[in-house]
């Protein structure tokens, strides 16, 4: 498989399926053998995306990985994200870097180092639907090639930067098409919204062009991933901050 893997061909197939709003099972794809091959395919799939907005997570083995957010929109500019069958929604906090976090070969970045590099925090919403029917549950590398399932991101209002420390437990209510789909405390899978970003900052194999000043990074779900069975307006109330936008049929 290593000798015959074609990252450009995989990217073309993923793109075609995404454009058609279709999904195929993991077993029908030629699988990347390692993260390098997965990122090669992702780079081909992401060709032409210039938002400088990124998601960060970790593989089942604990390897930090990223993917570009697309389509990316800001709610203040009248954002609308296309709806596809199987699309899921996550409430998230995004942070913008005010200075570079270059790759370090000596002392690792601490959480405090990363917080110091953040210039602003925002309420955000990620939409997810993968061309891979099982998403990352069978092959996380294939899912990584498919931009980690991202199918859109809406950046909402600026938050107090201190919320990167206190987001967990903040009251969070989300409605979709007038129906409540989440009502409870915000909860990040790692407890700390910055865990995966700190992990990625300390990844010596990440691109040298990553984590530059101005980049926007979304930090992971506060609401779990909730499927949206139909198009409709999303309304998020996170503490005192609100984000509303339509998810419209493509």
User: What's the confidence (pLDDT) of residue 3?
Assistant: 57
Residue of 46, 99, 59, 94 lying closest to 211 (CA atoms): 99
Crossing angle (nearest 10°) for helices 35-45 and 7-20? 50
* Matching residue, tokens 């691109």: 207
Residue extents of the structural domains in the chain:
7-249
Distance between start and end Cα atoms, the chain: 36
Answer CATH for 7-249 from 3.90.850.10, 3.40.640.10, 3.40.50.300, 3.30.565.10: 3.90.850.10
Phi and psi torsions of 146, nearest 5°? -85, 35
pTM of the model: 0.94
Contact predicate 193/159, CB 8 Å? no
CA distance to 87, 102, 142, 172, 179, per residue, from 230 (Å): 9, 42, 27, 22, 11
Residues lower than pLDDT 70 in the chain: 1-3
CB atoms within 10 A of CB 24: 15
User: What's the confidence (pLDDT) of residue 2?
Assistant: 43
Give, as one character, the DSSP assignment of residue 132: B
Burial class (CB in 10 A: 0-12, 13-18, 19+), 19: exposed
User: What's the confidence (pLDDT) of residue 77?
Assistant: 78
């Amino acid at each position: 498989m290593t000798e015959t893997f074609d990252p450009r061909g995989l990217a073309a197939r993923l793109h075609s399926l995404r454009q058609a709003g279709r999904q195929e099972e993991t077993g029908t794809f030629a699988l990347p053998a390692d993260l390098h091959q997965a990122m090669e395919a992702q780079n081909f799939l992401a060709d032409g995306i210039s938002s400088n907005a990124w998601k960060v997570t970790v593989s089942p083995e604990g390897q930090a990985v990223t993917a570009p957010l697309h389509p990316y929109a800001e709610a203040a500019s009248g954002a609308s994200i296309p709806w596809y069958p199987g699309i899921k929604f996550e409430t998230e906090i995004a942070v913008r870097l005010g200075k570079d976090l270059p790759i370090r070969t000596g002392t690792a970045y601490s959480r405090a180092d990363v917080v110091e590099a953040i210039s602003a925090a925002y309420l955000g919403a990620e939409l997810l639907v993968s061309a891979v029917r099982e998403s990352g549950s069978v092959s996380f590398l294939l899912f990584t090639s498919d931009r980690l399932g991202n199918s859109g991101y809406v950046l909402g209002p600026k938050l107090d930067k201190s919320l990167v420390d206190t987001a967990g437990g903040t009251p969070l209510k989300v409605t979709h098409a007038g129906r409540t789909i989440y009502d409870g405390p915000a909860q990040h899978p790692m407890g700390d919204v910055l865990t995966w970003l700190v992990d990625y900052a300390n990844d010596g194999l990440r691109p040298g062009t990553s984590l530059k000043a101005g980049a926007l990074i979304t930090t992971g779900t506060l609401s779990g991933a909730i499927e949206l069975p139909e198009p409709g307006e999303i309304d998020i109330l996170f503490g005192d901050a609100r984000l509303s936008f339509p998810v419209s049929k493509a």
